[in-house]
């Protein structure tokens, strides 16, 4: 990708995010709809940075209780045990079970935090109009977008376990409050990724290019 | 943009849709909501956390940080959050996170202990912890003073603070099979337990703290006797064999029984923590305490084998005291050896009623008079065999009219009472006398004489044999004279035949004469013709 490629916006064109059709904006101040698929057309996503920031901050706020509160309460004859995500990682860590432990660690702790940090980085650089590492940043964005949904695996497994292991009164598993926060983190980061407009990454480059030109 | 010439004129124009624009996105409600929920959860979390306390354990065996619960009547009211070693590595310090509103429980006399499976005697407890793991038991105190540092008990308290009843203290020199939790029996009903025991500082006595449940604690009166009902108490004494048991349970694990001596009067109930003596058995517990024991000394000039402290002292079969001490004494001046036996006599058991006697001196004077008169009338102490099987011996006082006269010297301490040798000793003395007499007999001389007599007899017998031989010859001669073929016999035979014939003739004559008596005068007629 050449850094100085012209953008549709610079050409006065809007691209449809659904069908990819380029169209000229309707006359007047108002933004129009795609003539082919009736999708709302905007030059850039509405208040993209603001929304992304909002979702990201919400996700970051939820990330704390998600890790502090127990995600799973196991009730056995021996008593009730509440484990947080990190305790689960420690619990699973054994000479034979370490890959599982690693999966939980990566999917449930590292990926959400990495997502939050990556999005924050993207937002700050986009906001400051940075023109460096455009390629890296768009790659990062794609990675975040792709990987984000997999964090939901944890929530999925937890809810499944809770639904399946109901051997009252011998043993039962119940989701803890941390799980709701964890799910919220995953959902909010996905929303943040969704609301972030990756075109903002190179808008600065293009506008600078234009100015220089 | 409109100033630039569009390069693609064929693009269609989009439709213009009017829309309202918001300055600040509503999306900001999301982080605000998240923050609010997070803050609420955090506040709820903090509010749900009760006080933190420190419990010091000897060992953290079975304890697990974050897992081990503090359990009160089956309700979890706390959990151990951290466990670490103390600075000196001698104990384990556990920090427990208590449930909210448990501040009232954490007072000065609240006690903690680890509940583990425990089998002690009749008590099996904490079996549930085999599966669930150990937990920490708590007994909530009554104090008002709050506290946050506790030292856990080594063993669970036997008695719960909220069980009505009273504690009593027993002292004993021998713990026997007692242990914490050993049952207390009242008329064979289990009414309490041993709460704790400790050896006194001087190492001489045990102080046993017992708990008697209400309403049975009211049966512990001021004169109640406690005794060890441990197992089977078999005693062989001068009275014979006796077996005492309390219950099957106590046979297995021991126990303490108590009972008040049967008295008509209703005695006041003992105060809590009253100190009682723990007797070794029921008999000892109910042995009437000598109300006014007098110590006397008896000197026996014989073996006191079988006489032990505690042996009864009887007066004509009525127990009046017991042997206190048996020891040997040697007089260094005279080098005389004696076995003084100290006895405790209860003169009141002789029927001496302390009635109308005010002063002690008056009483003592009366007692002297009594003993003096008894001794003057021949009362003496004597060792008697109580039980032939065991060889146990007791001291008997009895009247011995033929005893050598004696008096009681009241100036001595303890006062000596006169004794008389025991029956066995008298018998022994008699046998010894006979043996001595036998010993004195000149047995050798007698033997010598006997031997000489036998030698004489020998000679006599030799001459007797000669006499017999000549007697034989005489008899032989006699035999030849009287043999069937001897001349004398034949002559005798023919003589006898002659005599027989003569006798017949004589009879014929006699017959004839009887029929013809006249022939004596006239002569025979036929012949006369």
Q: What is the pLDDT of residues B66-118, one digit of tens each?
A: 778 888 888 888 888 888 898 888 889 998 888 888 888 888 888 888 887 77
Domain of residue A98, residue span = 45-212
Per the domain annotation, does B21 fall within a domain?
A: no
pLDDT digit string, tens, across residues A123-172: 898 888 777 778 888 888 888 888 877 777 777 877 887 888 777 667 77
Nearest-10 crossing angle of helices A199-212, A134-148: 160
In this predicted structure, what is the pLDDT of residue B460? 92
In this predicted structure, what is the pLDDT of residue A1? 47
Burial label, A131 (beta-carbon count in 10 A; 0-12, 13-18, 19+): middle
Per the domain annotation, does B481 fall within a domain?
A: no
Task: Report the chain A residue with the minimal C-alpha distance to residue B76.
Answer: A79
A4 with A101, same domain: the answer is no
A54 contacts B27? CB cut-off 8 A: yes
Give me the residue from B12, B27, B45 closest to A55, CB to CB.
Answer: B27
Give me the residue from A40, A62, A79 closest to B34, CB to CB.
Answer: A62
CA gap B114, B69 in Å, rounded: 10
Per the domain annotation, does B529 fall within a domain?
A: no
B33 contacts A47? CB cut-off 8 A: no
Per the domain annotation, does B367 fall within a domain?
A: yes
Show residues of chain B in contact with A33, CB under 8 Å: 14-15, 17
Confidence (pTM)? 0.47
Give the rounded distance of the alpha carbon of B111 from its chain centre: 39
Show residues of chain A in contact with B30, CB under 8 Å: 54-55, 58, 188, 191
Cβ–Cβ contact B16 with A under 8 A = yes
User: Is the Cβ–Cβ distance between B327 and B340 less than 8 Å?
Assistant: yes
Give the rounded distance of the alpha carbon of B357 from its chain centre: 40
A18 with A114, same domain: the answer is no
CATH code of the domain containing A123: 1.20.140
Name the domain count of chain A. 2
A144 with A190, same domain: the answer is yes
Give Cα separations from B376 to B344, B372, B423 (angstroms): 21, 6, 21
Question: Is the model more confident about B277 or about A24?
Answer: B277
A195 with A108, same domain: the answer is yes
- Output Rg (C-alpha) for chain A, integer angstroms: 22
A39 with A87, same domain: the answer is no
B42 contacts A41? CB cut-off 8 A: no
From B151, B182, B203, the end of a domain falls on B151
Helices (H), ranges, B484-529:
487-515, 519-522, 525-528
Burial label, B311 (beta-carbon count in 10 A; 0-12, 13-18, 19+): buried
Instruction: Enumerate residues 489 to 528 of chain B having a beta carbon within 8 A of any beta carbon in chain A.
Output: none
B38 contacts A62? CB cut-off 8 A: yes
B276 with B197, same domain: the answer is yes
A98 with A112, same domain: the answer is yes
Q: In the predicted model, what is the mean pLDDT of chain A?
A: 79
ipTM, two decimals: 0.72
Contacts of B507 (CB under 8 A, 6+ apart): none
Question: Is the model more confident about B328 or about A208?
Answer: B328
From B373, B388, B421, the end of a domain falls on B421
> How many CB atoms are closer than 10 A to CB B486?
13
For tokens 């035999």, name the residue. B479
A78 contacts B132? CB cut-off 8 A: yes
Name the domain count of chain B. 4
Total residues belonging to chain B: 529
For tokens 């939050």, name the residue. A116
CA gap A33, A14 in Å, rounded: 10
User: Is the Cβ–Cβ distance between B121 and B80 less than 8 Å?
Assistant: no
Please state whether beta strands B240-244 and B293-300 pair in parallel, antiparallel, or not at all (unpaired): unpaired
Contacts of B94 (CB under 8 A, 6+ apart): B54, B55, B56, B57, B60, B63, B65, B80, B82, B83, B84
Instruction: Give mean pLDDT in consecutive 10-residue pieces for chain B, a chain of 529 residues.
Output: 59 65 70 85 80 88 82 85 88 88 84 79 67 81 84 78 83 82 84 86 87 86 82 65 68 80 74 84 70 77 79 82 82 80 74 58 77 84 78 83 80 81 78 88 89 92 92 88 78 91 92 86 67
A4 with A50, same domain: the answer is no
Min Cα–Cα distance to chain A from B6, Å = 7
Contacts of A211 (CB under 8 A, 6+ apart): none
In this predicted structure, what is the pLDDT of residue B121? 58
CA gap A91, A76 in Å, rounded: 16
CA gap B451, B458 in Å, rounded: 11
Min Cα–Cα distance to chain B from A81, Å = 7
A53 with A72, same domain: the answer is yes
Min Cα–Cα distance to chain B from A150, Å = 22
> How many CB atoms are closer than 10 A to CB A8?
13
From A26, A43, A60, the end of a domain falls on A43
A117 with A50, same domain: the answer is yes
Per the domain annotation, does B2 fall within a domain?
A: no
B27 contacts A51? CB cut-off 8 A: yes
In this predicted structure, what is the pLDDT of residue B527? 57
Show residues of chain B in contact with A57, CB under 8 Å: 31, 34-35
Per the domain annotation, does B391 fall within a domain?
A: yes
Give me the residue from A26, A47, A54 closest to B15, CB to CB.
Answer: A26
CA gap B276, B271 in Å, rounded: 11
B38 contacts A181? CB cut-off 8 A: yes
B126 with B177, same domain: the answer is no
B212 with B301, same domain: the answer is no
In this predicted structure, what is the pLDDT of residue A136? 86
A181 contacts B17? CB cut-off 8 A: no
Domain of residue B512, residue span = 487-522
Tokens of B50: 């009760």
A107 with A16, same domain: the answer is no
Cβ–Cβ contact B15 with A under 8 A = yes
CA gap B338, B335 in Å, rounded: 10
Long-range contacts of A203-206 (CB under 8 A, 24+ apart): A203/A7, A203/A9, A203/A44, A203/A126, A204/A126, A204/A129, A204/A130, A204/A131, A205/A3, A205/A4, A205/A131, A205/A134, A206/A4, A206/A5, A206/A6, A206/A7, A206/A10
B14 contacts A14? CB cut-off 8 A: yes
A39 with A50, same domain: the answer is no
B34 contacts A58? CB cut-off 8 A: yes
Query: Three-class SS of residue B380?
Result: strand
Cβ–Cβ contact B46 with A under 8 A = no
Q: Which of B3, B508, B34 is nearest to A11 (CA)?
A: B3
B300 with B282, same domain: the answer is no
From B286, B310, B341, the end of a domain falls on B286
CA gap B231, B177 in Å, rounded: 9
Helix (H) or strand (E) holding B292: none
A198 with A112, same domain: the answer is yes
Per the domain annotation, does B127 fall within a domain?
A: yes
Per the domain annotation, does B369 fall within a domain?
A: yes
From A11, A26, A43, the end of a domain falls on A43
Instruction: Enumerate residues 139 to 178 of chain A having a beta carbon within 8 A of any beta carbon in chain B.
Output: 177
For tokens 């100015």, name the residue. A211
pLDDT digit string, tens, across residues A96-122: 878 888 888 888 888 888 888 988 998
B354 with B267, same domain: the answer is no
Question: Is the model more confident about A51 or about A46?
Answer: A51
CA gap A116, A136 in Å, rounded: 17
Can you point out the beta strands (E) in B301-391?
312-315, 318-326, 329-331, 336-346, 379-387
CA quadruple B481, B487, B492, B493: dihedral sign: positive
Query: Three-class SS of residue A47?
Result: coil
B397 with B318, same domain: the answer is yes
């Amino acid at each position: 990708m050449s850094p100085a490629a012209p953008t549709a916006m610079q050409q006065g064109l809007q691209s449809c995010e659904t069908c990819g059709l380029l169209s000229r904006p309707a006359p007047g101040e108002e933004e129009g709809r795609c003539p082919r698929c009736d999708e709302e057309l905007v030059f850039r996503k509405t208040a993209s940075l603001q929304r992304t920031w909002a979702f990201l901050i919400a996700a970051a706020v939820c990330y704390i209780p998600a890790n502090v509160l127990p995600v799973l309460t196991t009730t056995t004859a021996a008593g009730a045990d509440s484990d947080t995500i990190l305790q689960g990682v420690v619990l699973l860590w054994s000479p034979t079970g370490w890959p599982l432990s690693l999966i939980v660690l990566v999917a449930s702790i590292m990926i959400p935090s990495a997502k939050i940090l990556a999005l924050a980085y993207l937002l700050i650089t986009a906001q400051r109009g940075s023109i460096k590492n455009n390629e890296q940043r768009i790659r990062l964005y794609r990675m975040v977008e792709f990987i984000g949904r997999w964090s939901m695996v944890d929530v999925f497994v937890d809810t499944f376990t809770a639904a399946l292991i109901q051997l009252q009164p011998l043993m039962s598993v119940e989701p803890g409050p941390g799980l709701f926060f964890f799910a919220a983190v995953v959902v909010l980061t996905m929303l943040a990724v969704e609301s972030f407009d990756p075109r903002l990454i190179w808008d600065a480059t293009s506008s600078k290019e234009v100015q220089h030109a | 943009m409109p100033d630039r010439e569009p390069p693609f004129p064929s693009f269609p124009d989009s439709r213009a849709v009017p829309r309202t624009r918001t300055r600040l996105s509503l999306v900001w409600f999301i982080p605000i909501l998240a923050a609010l929920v997070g803050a609420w959860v955090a506040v709820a979390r903090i509010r749900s956390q009760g006080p933190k306390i420190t419990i010091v354990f000897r060992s953290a065996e079975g304890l697990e940080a974050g897992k081990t619960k503090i359990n009160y009547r089956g309700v979890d009211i706390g959990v151990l959050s951290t466990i670490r070693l103390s600075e000196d590595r001698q104990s384990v310090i556990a920090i427990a996170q208590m449930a909210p509103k448990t501040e009232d429980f954490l007072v000065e006399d609240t006690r903690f202990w680890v509940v583990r499976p425990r089998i002690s005697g009749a008590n099996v407890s904490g079996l549930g912890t085999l599966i669930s793991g150990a937990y920490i038991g708590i007994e909530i105190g009554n104090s008002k003073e709050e506290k946050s540092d506790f030292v856990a008990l080594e063993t669970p308290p036997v008695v719960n603070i909220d069980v009505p009843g009273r504690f009593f203290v027993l002292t004993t020199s021998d713990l026997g099979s007692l242990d914490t939790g050993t049952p207390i029996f009242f008329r064979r009903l289990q009414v309490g337990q041993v709460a704790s025991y400790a050896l006194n500082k001087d190492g001489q006595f045990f102080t046993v703290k017992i708990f008697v449940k209400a309403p049975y604690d009211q049966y512990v009166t001021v004169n109640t006797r406690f005794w060890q009902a441990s197992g089977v108490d078999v005693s062989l004494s001068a009275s014979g064999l006796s077996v005492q048991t309390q219950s099957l349970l106590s046979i297995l694990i021991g126990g303490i029984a108590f009972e008040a001596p049967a008295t008509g009067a209703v005695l006041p109930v003992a105060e809590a923590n009253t100190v009682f003596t723990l007797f070794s058995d029921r008999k000892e517990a109910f042995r009437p305490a000598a109300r006014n024991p007098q110590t006397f000394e008896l000197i026996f000039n014989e073996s006191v084998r079988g006489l032990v402290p505690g042996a009864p002292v009887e007066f004509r079969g009525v127990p009046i005291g017991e042997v206190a001490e048996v020891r040997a004494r040697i007089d260094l001046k005279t080098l005389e050896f004696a076995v003084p036996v100290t006895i405790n006599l209860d003169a009141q058991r002789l029927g001496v009623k302390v009635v109308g006697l005010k002063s002690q001196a008056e009483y003592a004077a009366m007692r002297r008079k009594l003993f003096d008169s008894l001794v003057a009338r021949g009362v003496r102490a004597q060792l008697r065999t109580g039980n032939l099987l065991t060889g146990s011996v007791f001291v008997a006082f009895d009247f011995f009219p033929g005893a050598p006269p004696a008096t009681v010297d009241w100036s001595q301490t303890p006062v000596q009472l006169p004794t008389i040798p025991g029956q066995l000793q008298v018998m022994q003395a008699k046998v010894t006398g006979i043996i001595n007499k036998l010993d004195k007999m000149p047995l050798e001389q007698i033997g010598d004489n006997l031997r000489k007599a036998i030698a004489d007899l020998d000679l006599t017998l030799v001459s007797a044999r000669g006499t017999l031989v000549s007697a034989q010859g005489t008899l032989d001669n006699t035999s030849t004279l009287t043999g069937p073929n001897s001349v004398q016999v034949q002559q005798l035979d023919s003589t006898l035949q002659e005599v027989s014939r003569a006798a017949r003739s004589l009879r014929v004559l006699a017959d004839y004469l009887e029929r013809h008596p006249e022939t004596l005068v006239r002569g025979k007629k036929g012949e006369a013709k």
